[in-house]
Structure 1
């Protein structure tokens, strides 16, 4: 059950995650100028790894559920973004960059799932 306190914490964590994504995406765009949206790709991969890690820690009894909800749903939910990745894939298609759009869509999906699996496996080491 979601208590009012946990709801507030999840909301605040979501805001922090979104702000973190905004700043990190801007920095990555400065460091890696490209037609590929490297900021969104790297943010989604790192967020998937972190969520896999948290989920593994929770599954192993090392992380209480409220922490998983606050960090996983709140912080990482605000940090990662499927909608932006989808929009950027469409933007690449509209620009006639078919190969880049396929790399963005399929590559991001594969990389994020593998990152989550890796995070989960790392958590099982604890």
Structure 2
């Protein structure tokens, strides 16, 4: 059952990621950045709220896992070269970690 919940969540998250990237990724990969920020915040919130078991499989592993994309981030970083690629990495990762912490904080408060 858990595998099906993960697949169902990913079946929603992955197309949402694709649409965001298709609509917003150009010179700067805003779609990729935004889905990583949103997924990080949501995962922090879910964990803080004590979501576990099947709901976490569906929403955390499935949806957030399908929504976020560090493989596409790696491609964007590589394709933009050392300077702009480093900026893309920092603009994605630092806020994503902060948003995960914010989601966790809001979820426990």
Count, aligned residues: 109
Aligned alpha-carbon RMSD (Å):
1.3
Unaligned runs of 5+ in 1: none
- 1:52 paired residue among 20, 44, 54: 44
Gaps of 5+ in 2: none
Q: Of Structure 1 and Structure 2, which has the larger fraction of its residues in helix?
A: 2
Deviation of 1:48 (Å): 0.4
**Contact 1:17-1:77 within 8 A present in 2 as well:** yes
Runs of 4+ with >3 A deviation: none
Larger Rg: 1
Distance between the aligned counterparts of 1:49 and 1:91, measured in 2?
26
Could you tell me how far apart the structure 1 residues matched to 2:52 and 2:91 are? 33
Normalised TM-score (structure 1): 0.80
Check whether the contact 1:44–1:112 (CA below 8 A) recurs between aligned residues: yes
Supply the distance in 2 between the matched residues of 1:79 and 1:55 (Cα, whole angstroms): 17
Map 1:15-30 onto structure 2 (within 5 A).
15-29=11-25
Question: Distance in 2 between the 1:9 and 1:70 partners?
Answer: 5
Between the aligned partners of 1:21 and 1:84, the Cα distance in structure 2 is 10
